[in-house]
Amino acid sequence: MAIEIERKYRVQSLGGLELPKGQEIDQGYLANSGCTVRVRTKGPRAYLTIKFPARRLQETGGALERQEFEYEIPVPDARELLELAPFRLTKTRHLLPNGVELDIFHGRHEGLILAEYESAGGSQPEPLPGLQWQEVTEDRRYSNSWIARNGIPPLD
């Protein structure tokens, strides 16, 4: 078991930021009742992940903590499970120098860019020049499972 502590941001502008080569991700959601069961291909590998509901960490100013179990599975199995998944999304993930994972969504989610930052204490990431974002950590509409089911959340 792993504990994931993260913050999430909706990116409004990359501000000319040069992105490193990304990795293609195709993920689908098999169940979402109390916990989320996700299957994904990530480059040449595949994973089955179970995530439990998140709780807000008051002492970190709003980071979310959740239990997460992730298992590598054979890619052919993942592809079959993806075909069975009622909700899917595709994205390209870029790993930025400050430890931020930047996801650029494709298909029906085109135009959405999210950034995630995981840290042991729930701290904010170091800023990157030009990158403009808004923290959406506590907005459940920015979970990937919500986006896969419902589409891009409207800007408030």
Rounded Cα–Cα distance for residues 136 and 8 (Å): 6
Rounded Cα–Cα distance for residues 36 and 33 (Å): 7
pLDDT in tens, 14-67: 998 889 999 999 999 998 888 999 999 999 999 999 999 888 876 666 788 889
CATH value at residue 99:
2.40.320.10
Print the domain residue range for 67: 2-150
Tokens of 112: 């959405």
pLDDT over threshold 80, residue 8: yes
Amino acid 32: pLDDT: 80
Contact 94, 155 (CB under 8 A): no
Q: Is 95 inside a domain boundary?
A: yes
Q: Is 62 inside a domain boundary?
A: yes
Residue corresponding to tokens 């459940």 = 140
Query: Which residues, including other chains, have CB under 8 Å from residue 124's CB and lie 6 or more apart?
Result: 7, 61, 117
Contact 52, 68 (CB under 8 A): yes
Rounded Cα–Cα distance for residues 32 and 87 (Å): 10
Q: Looking at 9, 29, 117, 142, which residue is catalytic?
A: 29
Q: Is 156 inside a domain boundary?
A: no
Structural domains counted in the chain: 1
Compute CA distances 9 → 36, 37, 69, 83, 113, whole Å: 21, 23, 23, 29, 9
Cβ-in-10-Å burial (0-12, 13-18, 19+) of 102 comes to: buried
Amino acid 59: pLDDT: 65
pLDDT in tens, 60-84: 667 888 899 999 999 999 999 999 9
pLDDT over threshold 60, residue 98: yes
Amino acid 5: pLDDT: 86
Mean confidence (pLDDT) of the chain: 91
Q: Is 102 inside a domain boundary?
A: yes
| Catalytic-residue membership of 29 | yes
Q: Is 155 inside a domain boundary?
A: no
